[in-house]
Structures are given as C-alpha cells and as structure tokens.
C-alpha cells in the first residue's frame, strides 16, 4: 500500500474525466483513495484557470490540504499549473507541479518528487499529438466519458484555454473505438464524448476525419446503446451531423452550443466567427429536424463594452429561440487574455444582474420544454439516489427525471412514465 491519496478537481468535464482516470491509476498502484476532508498523505489538486477566481480557489485548496494534514505532499496539475507554475511553486507544501501534458505520466513524476520539489511543465503549444489517460471506472455513475480530443485553436478573446491546453489534437479513431467498446463491455449504458473542442475532431489526423466520421464508426463498430456529444461550436454543426443524429437510435438528441452573445458587435469583440443570423438559422434548423431535441446554450453576460442595447439584443435572441436550457456565466476578467485589457469593463454587479435575468429566461425555457413530455414514457439512465426513496435519471434529450425506486433497481436504464413537473424538474413513475 502506498498510503492514502485524495483528488480534488476544479473546472470542466475534461478535467473531471482526467481526475477519474488518475484515480483509477492510483488505485491500481496500491493507493487508498479517500475524501479530501480526511487529510490524506498525498493530495492531488487538478486546477482550472478559466478565471482569476478559479486560480484563487486552486491556491486555497492547496492551503486547505496542508491545514488538514501538515505533513501531506501536494501535487498540483491542470490548467492553472500549466499557465502559472511559479505561483504554485511558491506555496508551502507543494511538492510537484505538473503541466497538462505531464498528466499522462503523473505516477512517475510523483515518485521522482519524493525527496524534493519538482516542477515539470512542457510548452503545451508545441505538443502535436493527443496523449490522454483512459479509464474504465466512473465511481457511482451510469454514464462514462471518453476524451476524444484536447486543446483548442479558436482563441476567443476572453479565453485562456488555448494557452493552457495547447493546439487541437485528436485521439486516433481506433483508440476511441476501443475505449468505447471497453466501457460498453463494462456495463455503461451511456457514453459521453468529451474534449476541449470536439467539433474540430480529426482535422489534425492523417488522413483527416470529422466528428461525424468518428460517430459513424462508433455506431457501426461498437454496441453502444446511448452516445452523447459534448459541447459543439456552432460553425461545426453541419447538416450532415444533424441528419446523422436525426436518423440514429443511438446518438442522443442533445446539442450543447456556445452562443456566448446575441449581438454581432459583442461577438466580434469576443473573436467569435459567426453572426447572430447564422446562429438563429442553425438552431431553427436543428429544431425543425429534431423537434424533441434538447438544445442548450452557453451565454456570457457583461462582456467588456456590453451596452444595455447589446445585452437587450442577447436577451431578445435567447427568448426567441426554441432552446431547452441555458448555461449562463457573468464575465470574469482573466489576466493574459485580450478581453482583460479591453476598455469599458462592465462592473461585476451589473454583469451578475444581467446573468440573473438570463437565468430566469433559461429556467422558463426549461419548464416549457419539460412540460411537453408529461404523460410520455421515456428511457432514463439512472444517475443516483435521493431522499425518501427517490431516484433520479437522465433521458436521451437531457431531461432530469425524479422517480421512486429502491436501491435494488434491476438495471441502469429504466422506462419511466413522466407524471408531472415539480420544483426540481420532472417527476415520474416506473413503467
């Protein structure tokens, strides 16, 4: 036994996937994985750097780990470690700082840092191949994640990720197929394809491929029952992909699309390469072809220079679109990005107020979308338990459903008849 270890993770689904993979490797190496608050001998902090606030959270987690166990060794990795390793080197108790590319060899680096502090961060933009950790276990989950791609070449003006994750790099399709097949064999009824910029999948491969090509291979080459796509840039959702989803019994009718702003001037300042008319047409085409599909949007409120009229345009566009839910973020200045030095920074309080108005629209959109399915019987993937015998699950079109059922449910997928809409969402009964 190599001692007790805990992992704590900030940020995106890619970080969460990588932490799950690291946890599996640690267990195989003989470590006992324990909760963070136990005060482990070894603590791994997988950081995010999307805002300066997440940088601060990362530093606070390191300090908290040392308060819980002053003798613990702290390993810091992830995007904050990639872009500012020196800030982390200076924190007492940090024995190892690893960049994102070094995650694949993290166990070796842990061994090398036993006798002193080690900082190992490669220049991520020079990395040309995707080397990702894989995992076969997702604790207490019925949905498994497969990382198909890493990095981003978009360089949106508010985003540090191209510098923290490097250029877009795709996992070889044979490796993706093997991972999905293994997870299906392990009993996971739903596989989620994840990455930083999955719509750009395959453009760096020889011969080049598309995400649509990969999804076709997974449909024909594995026994996957449900395949869900992660976030897709609007310019990369082709008519071919929409038709593939529409004609498939495997691909979930669920599109997660970053809008970010509903005003052309704001989109230009964000370095987003489309206009609102294009986005409106895209969402309407998806809705016409797949009227029951979930369509979720990312929106940023209070971007630098956003006027009341520009925000009103965003609000009006969102209200007019047939979408099912919103992910809303008040803009937060990230040092090192072009947006951080733009004039006319919107006060944080105003950004939060605008975000609240957008969230209210999103909540109403979600209620309207969910209400359409009351009375229907849908398949759900059981995702966890609740209080007083209630369980929760997820439909193919991203509806959260609560229903009564004991711990001895016969399968990870169940048919549930939706009976109504209550506080936290849809409620139903086993069919």
Higher-pLDDT residue of 412, 242: 242
Structure confidence at residue 1 as a pLDDT band (50, 70, 90): very low
pLDDT at 130: 83
CB atoms within 10 A of CB 113: 19
- Quick: pLDDT tens for 300-334: 999 999 999 999 999 999 999 999 999 999 999 99
pLDDT at 131: 77
Residue 161 in tokens: 């990720």
pLDDT at 46: 96
Structure confidence at residue 196 as a pLDDT band (50, 70, 90): very high
pLDDT at 51: 85
Nearest in space to 294 (alpha carbons), one of 342, 328, 245, 236: 245
Mean pLDDT of 287-304: 98
CA 302 to chain centre: 22
Whether 171 and 132 have beta carbons less than 8 Å apart is answered as: yes
- Quick: pLDDT tens for 29-44: 999 999 999 999 999 9
Q: How do 390-395 and 400-404 pair as beta strands? A: antiparallel
The Cα 399–Cα 402 span in angstroms is 10
Q: Provide the sign of the torsion angle of the four alpha carbons 335, 338, 344, 349, taken in this order.
A: negative
Mean pLDDT of 373-386: 88
Please, what is the average pLDDT of the chain?
93
What percentage of the chain carries pLDDT values higher than 90? Answer: 83
Task: Give the predicted TM-score (pTM) of the model.
Answer: 0.92
- Quick: pLDDT tens for 167-191: 999 999 999 999 999 999 989 999 9
pLDDT at 254: 98
- Quick: pLDDT tens for 42-66: 999 999 998 888 999 999 999 999 9
- Tokens 């209550």 map to which residue? 422
Mean pLDDT of 228-252: 97
Residues 6+ apart with CB under 8 A from 358: 299, 301, 314, 315, 318, 326, 328
The burial of 79, by beta-carbon neighbours within 10 Å (0-12 exposed, 13-18 middle, 19 or more buried), is given as buried
- Quick: pLDDT tens for 242-270: 999 999 999 999 999 999 999 999 999 99
pLDDT at 383: 83
Domains of the chain, start order = 4-122 (3.40.50.12160), 143-371 (3.80.30.20), 377-430 (2.40.50)
Structure confidence at residue 134 as a pLDDT band (50, 70, 90): confident
Whether 110 and 87 have beta carbons less than 8 Å apart is answered as: no
Nearest in space to 295 (alpha carbons), one of 263, 331, 320, 268: 320
Structure confidence at residue 424 as a pLDDT band (50, 70, 90): low
**Predicted confidence (pLDDT) at residue 204 exceeds the cutoff of 50:** yes
pLDDT at 139: 56
Whether 111 and 102 have beta carbons less than 8 Å apart is answered as: no
**Predicted confidence (pLDDT) at residue 79 exceeds the cutoff of 80:** yes
**Predicted confidence (pLDDT) at residue 410 exceeds the cutoff of 60:** no
Mean pLDDT of 84-102: 94
């Amino acid at each position: 036994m190599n001692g007790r270890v805990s992992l704590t993770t900030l940020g995106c689904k890619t970080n969460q996937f990588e932490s799950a993979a690291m946890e599996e490797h640690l267990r195989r190496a003989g470590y006992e994985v324990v909760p963070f608050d136990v005060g482990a001998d070894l603590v791994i902090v997988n950081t995010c750097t999307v805002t300066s606030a997440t940088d601060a959270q990362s530093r606070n987690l390191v300090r908290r780990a040392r308060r819980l166990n002053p003798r613990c060794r702290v390993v810091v990795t992830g995007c904050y470690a990639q872009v500012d390793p020196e800030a982390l080197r200076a924190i007492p108790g940090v024995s190892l700082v690893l960049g994102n590319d070094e995650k694949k060899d993290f166990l070796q680096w842990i061994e090398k840092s036993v006798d002193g502090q080690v900082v190992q961060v490669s220049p991520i933009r020079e990395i040309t191949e995707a080397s990702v950790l894989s995992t076969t276990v997702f604790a207490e989950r019925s949905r498994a994640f497969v990382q198909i791609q890493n990095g981003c070449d978009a360089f949106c003006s508010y985003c540090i990720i191209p510098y923290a994750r490097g250029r877009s790099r795709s996992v070889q399709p044979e490796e993706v197929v093997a991972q999905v097949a293994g997870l299906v064999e392990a009993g996971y009824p739903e596989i989620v394809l994840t990455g930083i910029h999955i719509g750009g999948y395959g453009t760096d491969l020889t011969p080049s491929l598309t995400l649509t090509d990969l999804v076709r291979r997974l449909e024909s080459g594995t026994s996957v029952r449900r395949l869900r796509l992660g976030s897709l840039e609007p310019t990369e959702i082709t008519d071919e992909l929409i038709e593939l989803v529409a004609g498939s019994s495997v691909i979930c009718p669920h599109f997660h699309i970053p809008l970010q702003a509903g005003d052309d001037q704001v989109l230009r300042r964000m370095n987003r390469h489309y206009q609102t008319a294009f986005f409106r047409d895209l969402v309407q085409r998806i809705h016409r072809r797949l009227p029951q599909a979930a369509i979720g949007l990312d929106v940023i409120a209070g971007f630098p220079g956003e006027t009341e009229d520009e925000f009103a345009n965003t609000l009006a566009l969102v209200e007019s679109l047939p979408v099912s839910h919103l992910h809303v973020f008040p803009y937060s200045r990230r040092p090192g990005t072009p947006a951080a030095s733009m004039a006319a920074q919107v006060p944080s309080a105003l950004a939060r107020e605008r975000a609240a108005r957008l969230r209210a629209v999103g909540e109403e959109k979600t209620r309207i979308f969910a209400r359409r399915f009351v009375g229907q019987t849908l398949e759900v993937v059981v995702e966890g338990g609740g209080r007083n015998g209630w369980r929760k699950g997820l439909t193919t079109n991203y509806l959260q459903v609560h229903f009564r059922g004991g711990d001895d449910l016969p399968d990870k997928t169940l048919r549930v008849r939706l009976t109504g809409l209550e506080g936290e969402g849809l409620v139903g009964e086993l069919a």
